[in-house]
Structure 1
Amino acid sequence: MAGINSDPVPRIDDKDGSYSSGCTLPYWLDSLERPTFSKLTYDETCDFIVVGAGIAGLQSAYCLASHDPLKQIILIDDGEICSGETGRTTAHLQIEIDDYYHVVEQMYGEEAAQLVCDSNHKAVQFIEDTANGNQIDCEFQRLDAYLIPATEDDKHKVIDKELVSARKAGK
């Protein structure tokens, strides 16, 4: 497929026995005590099973449990909670996208760019509401974001177009 690197990403064996594409171990994975859970070693019945204890799996399990607390949910992973890619994120949330709104608009149209912007707004709001609603002290705060051109040429080729498209998308 064009644009996709077909070479496998190297997987590093972390000290906890999990594997990831990370070449380094962040402070919070290396130094902080994390909750541990026993392996599922027996047959179990449940309403939902969520595979993967990264941010997507945890959020899915959380939403399922919030929607219907009487449902039995099992969350499984091949390592510790958030020990893979999620544990290596900078954890900053942004409405801006890596591929730029003007690129989405050019490839898929204004409506698609608006949908991307709206979904990003809702995702950040969901996380803020979840943190506040559960009294999670995660130091959540909204800050301005900046897109800085590497060159003067980038300013005209990227920044100016992105400003127009991001505003149209609802940013």
Structure 2
Amino acid sequence: MNASTETGPRPRDWDIRPATETDWPAIWGILEPVVRAGETFTWDRDTTVDQARERWSTQAPGQTFVAVGRGDLDGVVLGTGELHANQGGGGSHVANAGYMVHPDHGGKGVARGLCAYSLDAARAAGFRAMQFNAVVESNVRAVAAWQSLGFEVLATIPEAFNHPQLGYVGLHLMYRKL
């Protein structure tokens, strides 16, 4: 699936595709340092590999996906994302997603590309909107990326996230219609 036409062309140095079973070691290699750092996700910093796999592995109509390098980085998993219904029952028409990028590949637009991919995938799966429940307000690069893709901050819950260096910071609730 290509990035949405409203978000521009797909970058030339990587592709995004659904994850396969063989991608898990690379996905864990991305998730583990992000989770251990405790700066951008609300996961317990001591999350085990099994807990992470259960939480990150998503079934239809959602999916788990990866950004895979081309050229010099051919086949290298640069980042990963997962898409799922935000709630069950009457709330199941709103998607939720998460993205993590390997620290060596941050700042190159990979997370933005993963988000654009998930917007297309969510739309194709019949979701009507996407909601992010907990975007750490100090993660300014992510907030700017999501806003550039049409998300708006609906609310900020003050001091809802205990950042390991900054102390208590807010969590944004972000939303966009598909």
TM band (smaller chain): under 0.3
More strand as a share of residues = 2
TM-score normalised to structure 1 length: 0.26
In our comparison, the structure showing a higher alpha carbon Rg is: 1
